[in-house]
Amino acid sequence: MRAIAVSEFGATPALMNLPVPEPGPGEVLVKMVAAGLNPVDWKISDGMLKDAVDHAFPLIMGMDGAGVVEATGRGETSFRPGDQVYGQFFMAPRGLGSFAEYAIAAPGAAVAAMPAGMIYSQAAAVPTATMTALNMVEKAGVDEGHTVLVVGATGGVGQSAVQLAADRGAKVIATARGDMAEEMRRLGADEIVDHGRDADVNEQVLRAHSDGLDEIIDLVSDQPAVERLAGLLRPGGTYISSIWSVNPDKMAAQQLRGLNFDNEASPALLAEIASLIDASRLRVMVHDEVSMEDAPAAIARGRAGGSHGKTVIRL
Ligand SMILES: NC(=O)c1ccc[n+]([C@@H]2O[C@H](COP(=O)([O-])OP(=O)(O)OC[C@H]3O[C@@H](n4cnc5c(N)ncnc54)[C@H](OP(=O)(O)O)[C@@H]3O)[C@@H](O)[C@H]2O)c1
């Protein structure tokens, strides 16, 4: 089968021909139709988890995907051949990810029935980013009447965080460069702050919200930027970072709640997301769809920054 893989940590991703995996007991073999790109894909192939788990090479990249169940291993009863599924497929110890014509869902993996009204390329863009957004909005305590700033709102996690916070009745301020402002408003943002070169997010927010924000959901800022932005929170406010830039003790000394976030994925969370999508309370912007031949270049573009919404590989 064709797959996008790396031959060692840090190697350039390449299109390779590799054996179709066999589903073991309790596993599900999925004929993949589309795979979604996330920053974690290249972080893992660079070696982010190398001290935590074994990896098999060539390592097929890719966490997220959507496809059709082809076969099930002994003892697997939740899925049947022909079921349309979406979720997370990456298995480091076996070198198996979603950027391939076939992938394996391990027992207990975050894989669930696809949202009914979605096509594969949209469903593949959902799992990691939207589960992260849902968990972050929940952990931050975003609620009706709150004012929340989403930093990094135009990316995969951010677009879902904006919608989910607005769905809870919060007033949402989203960072976006000029050309993305309207898209963010369509997703439910009440206010837009420009984060482009020469723009100061702090100043723009402070001008309209000198009384302080309730929550900041931050997907991009380093520690110095976080410490500056934290000054926008009211006493008792919450700062949550997806890239571990928060110093909780420093925040506590300023009467703030500081959280560094680690995602917990599950089939139940994917089922909850599928029902939000089916109820038209959540959607996903797919900004780019590429072939397998063009996938290595798309991964390089994602790594360089400047991604808007999600990029999907057609398999
Ligand atoms: N801890 C966890 O469990 C977990 C889970 C999921 C994701 N993550 C991490 O969270 C981060 C975001 O993930 P993602 O999938 O949303 O990434 P993404 O799709 O690449 O999006 C990043 C977005 O941030 C914007 N951005 C960059 N610099 C900015 C700045 N200074 N101010 C405001 N916006 C800025 C970018 O837009 P412009 O290019 O226009 O600036 C882009 O739209 C990644 O580092 C990812 O690895 C962590």
Residue 188 domain flag: yes
One domain for residues 136 and 250: yes
Q: What percent of the chain has pLDDT over 90?
A: 94
Residue 291 belongs to some domain of the structure: yes
253-310 pLDDT, tens digit per residue, is 999 999 999 999 999 999 999 999 999 999 998 999 999 999 999 999 999 987 778 9
- Burial annotation 160-173 (CB, 10 A radius, 16+ → b, else e): bbbbbbbbbebbbb
Mean pLDDT of the chain: 96
Whole-number Å distance, alpha carbon 152 to ligand 1 midpoint, is: 5
- In the chain, pLDDT over 70 holds for what percent of residues? 100
Give a yes or no: residue 267 inside a domain. Answer: no
As for how many domains the chain has, the answer is 2
pLDDT score of 196: 85
Q: Of ligand 1's atoms, which has the minimum distance to the CA of residue 159?
A: 16
Residue that finishes a domain, picked among 244, 260, 276: 260
Range of the domain at 248: 129-260
Q: Domain for residue 268, yes or no?
A: no
Hey, whose CA ends up nearest to atom 39 of ligand 1?
A: 306
Q: 59 and 41 share a domain?
A: yes
> Does one domain contain both 150 and 35?
no
**Residue with CA nearest ligand 1 atom 2:** 262
Q: Do the beta carbons of residue 10 and residue 50 sit within 8 Å?
A: no
* Ligand 1 binding pocket mutation candidate from 64, 126, 154, 160 (most atoms within 8 A of CB): 154
Closest ligand 1 atom number to CA of residue 151: 33
Of residues 260 and 198, more confidently modeled: 260
| Contact by Cβ (8 Å): 44, 80 | no
Query: What is the CA(250)–ligand 1 centre distance, in A?
Result: 24
Q: Which amino acid is at 122?
A: Q
Residues 218, 157, single domain; the answer is: yes
C-alpha distance from residue 52 to each of 15, 40, 49, 55 (Å): 26, 15, 5, 10
Mark whether 139 and 253 lie in a shared domain.
Answer: yes
pLDDT confidence bin for 138, thresholds 50/70/90: very high
> Do 139 and 244 reside in the same domain of the chain?
yes
Closest atom of ligand 1 to 201 CA is: 32
Is the same domain home to 158 and 239?
yes
Q: What is the pLDDT of residue 141?
A: 98
23 C-alpha to center of ligand 1: Å? 34
The Cα-based distances of 101 to 45, 140, 214 in angstroms read: 19, 38, 45
Q: Last residue of a domain, which of 224, 244, 260?
A: 260
Question: Across residues 225-232, what is the average pLDDT?
Answer: 97
Same domain, 310 and 255: no
The tokens of 63 are what?
């966490």
CATH of the domain at 184: 3.90.180.10
Any residues with Cβ below 6 Å from ligand 1, and which? 38-40, 43, 128-129, 132, 151-152, 154-158, 175, 177, 195, 219-220, 242-243, 261-263, 305-308
- The per-residue DSSP string of 183-207 comes to HHHHTT-SEEE--STT--HHHHHHH
| Phi, psi angles (nearest 5°) of residue 26 | 80, 0
Q: Is 98 part of any domain?
A: yes
Domain membership flag for residue 269? no
Looking at the structure, do residues 133 and 111 belong to the same domain, yes or no? no
* Chosen domain end from 260, 276, 305: 260
Report yes or no on 76 lying in a domain: yes
Distance from Cα 258 to the centre of ligand 1, integer Å: 19
Residue having the nearest C-alpha atom to atom 38 of ligand 1: 306
Amino acid 211: pLDDT? 94
| pLDDT value at residue 276 | 96
What local confidence, expressed as pLDDT, does residue 76 receive? 85
Q: Which atom of ligand 1 is nearest to the CA of 43?
A: 47
Tell me the pTM.
0.97
What pLDDT does 178 receive? 82
pLDDT of amino acid 159: 97
Angstrom CA distances, 213 to 13, 210, 236, 294, stand at 42, 8, 10, 42
Query: Is 265 contained in some domain?
Result: no
Say if residue 199's pLDDT is above 90: no
Residues paired with 171 in a beta bridge: 147
Cα–Cα dist 108/135, whole Å: 18
- The residue to mutate among 202, 242, 284, having the most atoms of ligand 1 within 8 angstroms of its beta carbon, is 242
Residues 258, 276, 155, 91: is their CA dihedral positive or negative?
Answer: positive
Q: According to the model, what pLDDT value does residue 308 have?
A: 79
**Residue 117 binned pLDDT confidence (cut-offs 50, 70, 90):** confident
| SS3 state at 181 | helix
Distance (Å, rounded) from C-alpha 142 to C-alpha 131?
A: 15
Cβ atoms 304, 145 nearer than 8 A: no
8 Å CB contact between 18 and 100:
yes
Q: Do strands 59-60 and 2-6 pair parallel, antiparallel, or not at all (unpaired)?
A: antiparallel
